[in-house]
Amino acid sequence: MKMVPYALVFGITLFAASVIALFTIQAKTGGNGCLCQDYTCGCCVHMDVDLIELNSTLCSNFTYLRHDYGLSFTITLNQHTLFNETVSARNPPPYCVGPPFVKEYAEICVRFYNLNTTRHSFYGCLEADAKLKHIRIARYDIGCFSIGPKLKYDDEDNISVVKI
């Protein structure tokens, strides 16, 4: 039996992943997968990616720590906690975790974007990527959220804070 050099196999794997990346799934959820109350939100999306045999529900739950400009943040996959940390709410990086059954080859990354933070409120959006060998193969738009007091404008252009 002839042995194939590891570098050749690895190169072919990367080439195949690159070709797959050209056909990346853009899976828009269409609606808002986030529900918020007070300073806490839960955002979920169902991810179905045949290439890595992923058919799971990804959820991110977070609480805005307004005095620290931080987030108490968890990522769960089918109700199993994969990530549980306190992170900065100022330009947080994507948080990537490997699903237990394919951790060596695949990962799911959750990214906050379009963030606007103040002392009393936090607004932004959340998306998730499924990656194979660090190459994105699917993207899911989870939804947007608004945490904290809402501003209400009355007829006389006075602004008052109304907690909803």
Domain assignment of residue 101, yes or no: yes
Query: Domain containing 105: what range?
Result: 6-162
Contact 23, 132 (CB under 8 A): no
Domain assignment of residue 45, yes or no: yes
Is the overall model pTM greater than 0.75, yes or no?
Answer: no
> Tokens representing 101?
């059954």
DSSP-assigned letter for residue 34? E
Please give the Cα distance from 157 to 111 (Å, whole number): 36
Domain assignment of residue 100, yes or no: yes
pLDDT at 155: 43
pLDDT at 81: 94
Please give the Cα distance from 135 to 141 (Å, whole number): 17
Chain Cα centroid distance, residue 108: 8
Domain assignment of residue 146, yes or no: yes
pLDDT at 10: 37
Residue among 135, 144, 158 at smallest CA distance from 16: 135
Domain assignment of residue 83, yes or no: yes
Domain assignment of residue 1, yes or no: no
Domain assignment of residue 49, yes or no: yes
Domain assignment of residue 93, yes or no: yes
pLDDT at 53: 81
- Counting the structural domains of the chain, the total is 1
pLDDT at 32: 72
pLDDT (tens place) for every residue of the chain, 164 residues total: 444 443 333 333 333 333 333 333 334 444 478 999 989 999 999 999 888 888 999 999 999 998 888 999 999 999 999 999 999 988 899 999 987 767 778 899 999 999 998 878 889 999 999 999 889 999 999 999 998 876 444 444 434 343 43
In sequence order, what DSSP letters do the residues of 83-103 get, joined into one string?
A: EEEEEESSSPPPEEE--TTTT
pLDDT at 36: 93
